Structure 1
Amino acid sequence: MLKKIIASAVLCAGAALYAYNPPAGGQNLLRISSPELLSEGASAAGGALYSVSPDSVVNNPALTAFEQRAVLNLSGTMLFDSKDESDKSVGGAFEGGILLPSRWCVSSFLVQGVFVPFYDMHLGNSFNFTANVAKDVTDKLSVGVSAELGVFYGHNSDWRGGVNLGAFYDFGEAGFFKDIRFGAVLLNIGKQLGNTTVLGITGSEASEWPGIATPKIGAAATFFEQNNFKAGASLDFSFPSFQNFVCDAGLQLLFADVIKVSSSWEYDAREFSEGSKNILPSVGVSFQFKFNSKNGSLLAKKGWEQSEMTVSGAWKQLYKNVNAVSAGAKINLGLKDTQAPEIILWGEK
């Protein structure tokens, strides 16, 4: 059944070869609603320095399989166009998500809204819902699948729905590289937006977007670690509808396991060829701290007396006239279990 689905998606992509004309930013419709999605390189391998949240499944449905704690996140982004011909200069996006581990799998749910009226990045208005399931196959390999459903309005009305398939592998160490990871994904298997009047990158009415049946591969690793400092990098390649080439590169620095600085850069061949893509990298900063719950509170009753919160912000110039500023917060309920289980044999005390 799975082979038939993939084959059908590939055939649909082949039939649309002549019509690849998404709006600027159309491939990243679900990657502008949080600081992490804007600044961490769209990494299928979990980022230059591995971390996950409910919105990580946008990049790879398998990434969340090894998370042991429940995670909540809430973020928002403001978009500004300095020279839009329609005099509509402000847009935005938001998201809210939850990640829930269980003994069988890790499930997550994500709601995103995108509202972009200006022509330089003509994404229109949409609400999108993603449900994801990830499962560890071994202690190094995981797989995942997500289902997406979205509604579009304002420039005609339409809907999108489909699935994404992903795999993730934690390789380990090689030479001076540590925490080497690989990710592979097949995105947008299903119906995408087509009945819209938004403008594509060529200036005419957009074709179907985001690109159906988009393969993506990525790798990431820590390349320097000393005392309270870490540095890592990620590199990803994707091929939207087999008609475009996109490269995402990310760099992250971690200080004292508390402050993380992120930067990423994207090369989209078709957008660059049409003169619409910006070449500046993004910049993001996050700060992590622990907090205690009062005795008798709901969190304390659940065993989450102490938890972690990460607050973050990011800036990215998406296109020559379009800037994005984003802020958000993530809560990891409880603390990581870093102590190995104690095994007592019969007769031992």
Structure 2
Amino acid sequence: MTTTGDFQKRLERAREASARLKDAIGQVIVGQGEVVEQALWGLVAGGHVLLEGAPGLGKTLLVRTIASCLDLKFSRIQFTPDLMPSDVTGTNILVTSADGSRHFALHKGPIFGQVVLADEINRATPKTQSSLLEAMQEHACTIGGVRHAMEEPFFVLATENPIEMEGTYPLPEAQLDRFLLKVMVPSPTEDEMTEILARTTGQPKDAPPKVLDRDEVLAIRSACRDVAVAEPIMRFASRLVRASDPTTQGAPDLVRRAIRYGAGVRGAQSLVLAAKAVSVLEGRAHVSFGDVQRVAKPVLRHRLIRSFEGEADGVSTDQVVDALVESVPARPENVEQAIRR
């Protein structure tokens, strides 16, 4: 049985590990502090992360750097229109033994890594994209009728380019929902770009040091699950998700006008898990209302489907999430009344 003191020590180790990991990543990645932090939320919460940004912003480099700082098996899948599902999952091949006998053996694909980079995921066909679904959701892959479990921790980071639309296949809603977070990668400032030029146009530097190993990552994930969430905070997450549905009574006007379908149960679960990740990486044993509000955009932005009117008016899902956070009360009226009494 874990005591309060033991749990506090686990939280302190998680906070220290987070600081060391950010410092190691910062030796390679210039700026992008919010992007790095949100990627670590996904790692700690046990979910997967979708990175969206223009070309050349360091999305692939960020994933490779995270993998380099973790003593985990890294694999990369470069998605192209001609990529087949077996290129992702692997296949059974006929092998001839030394004695001349033949048998089928599994040739594992790149999905059997621990940190998996799905680069330019929207360039592959829907058939190939769907080959990721079982692995992302079940942490296992079925090949030739046999189920093969992934080695834990299993963490998928996918990148996509929103600018080039020719020859791309937008991710279906079912697959988008498998990502715990969608992280937007912004362009660097002038100072950051100058630092990037200074770092990348000279002699190559050494790889960042290994910061965490498999057991340490799994321990932090376990601590994340043990973080306490009070019922009022869970109810707040539930109200946020319910208010994103335009058919729900009390939904904000912007939701009714610009959204066709809102987030679902997986969205509410992701809000709580991501908020727990924020808490554990800061060494806190309890989730706050502010933690839920802080993770609302990366958790919900890819789970809201805009209506025709919303797209025509140029309303972004981030604007809708802002409206939800502003309009949905952290505490319901009956709780406030009880406190005042």
The bucket for the TM-score relative to the shorter chain is: under 0.3
In the superposition, the TM-score normalised over structure 1's length comes to: 0.25
If asked which structure has higher relative contact order (CA below 8 Å, sep 6+), I would say 2
More strand by share: 1
Query: Structure 1 or 2: larger helix share?
Result: 2
